Amino acid sequence: MKHCIEKTSCWLVAGALSLLPLSSNATLIATEHFDYPDSNSLVSVGTGGSGWSGGWTTNGTSFEVVDGAAYTGDQDAFVNFRTLAESQSTGTLYFAWTGVKERTVDLFETQVLALSGFSNNNSTEEFSLQFRTSNATNEFFLLYGGADSTTGSDSGGSYTEGTEVTFVLEIDFNPGGDDNISAWVFTDGLPAILDTPLLTNSAPITSIDSIRIISNGKRMTGALDNIVVATEYSDLINAVPEPSTYAALFGICTLTVVIIRRRRLSGRDPVK
């Protein structure tokens, strides 16, 4: 019986471990969580994450890493690119990133904090998903359609200054015509299933081979973090299981240890 319990415990633990996520997923294209020491120099940051062909580059102005995020201070501006290890042009492609933006002065100027997707080696902007404040009106803004996103734009919803949100963008590549592009914004984490998008349209998008993050530095502070690129929406959701999963695993292991310990302390084996 003791041996039976021990064998059963192994199966229980193995079953509980199966609840944990796999360490890698073929549909996860790239990640960047800005897990670098605080710094304002790309010499010491920008080579982490996964799925990139190199580190962050800049045209002369760069983000500052503060508390594990790409930060923009009052009147600071940055433009930074990072190239994917493999260009994406078929199927469905998802992007996610978290961000927060807050005005420091109420000015009638356009403030932008954004993530954009590029093709042709950082030369053609295919989309740009933005925090935008224009004439003191806060809105989420989507530019799309190649040739520096000049095909069209869509705006919708409003954000509260200083509130962190998570952006999700989906591109459904269509080889025979315009590609479908949709965007969602969430303030309470990502849902299990995407519902009706906040912004949606169609546009000719050739491919995505790199991303750009940008702040135009117009009297605001802000930060970007947790950039994820994937071909499945499920990969955008945090891969670490909920605390309840760990609690269940811990409970099973504890119960198993208690049973075995009691059997050993009894010094008796039931009739087999």
Q: Answer with the residue of higher pLDDT: 250 or 115.
A: 115
| Mean local confidence (pLDDT), 4-9 | 42
Write the DSSP symbol of residue 33.
Answer: -
- Supply the CATH classification number for the domain 25-240: 2.60.120.200
pLDDT digits 0-9 by tens, 59-76 = 778 888 999 899 887 777
Task: State the Cα–Cα distance between residues 264 and 132, nearest whole angstrom.
Answer: 67
Nearest partner of 224 among 75, 65, 49, 37, judged by Cα = 65
The DSSP H or E segment spanning 200 is strand 199-203
Write the DSSP symbol of residue 211.
Answer: E
Q: Which tokens in the block code for residue 25?
A: 């997923």
Task: State the Cα–Cα distance between residues 184 and 192, nearest whole angstrom.
Answer: 13
pLDDT digits 0-9 by tens, 95-107 = 999 988 877 766 6
DSSP string covering 49-108? SBSBSS--EESS---EE-SSSEEE-TT--EEEEEEEEEEE-SSEEEEEEEEEEEESS--S
DSSP string covering 215-260? E--SSEEEEEEEEEEESSGGGGS-SSPPHHHHHHHHHHHHHHHHHH
Task: Give the per-residue pLDDT at 156.
Answer: 73
| Mean local confidence (pLDDT), 170-199 | 89
pLDDT digits 0-9 by tens, 118-135 = 998 888 888 888 777 766
Q: Which tokens in the block code for residue 246?
A: 């760990």
3-state helix, strand, coil in the chain (%, to 5): 15, 40, 45
* Parallel, antiparallel or unpaired: strands 57-58 and 152-156: unpaired
What are 92's strand-pairing partners?
172
pTM: 0.75
152 — pLDDT class (breaks 50, 70, 90): low
Task: Give the per-residue pLDDT at 264.
Answer: 38
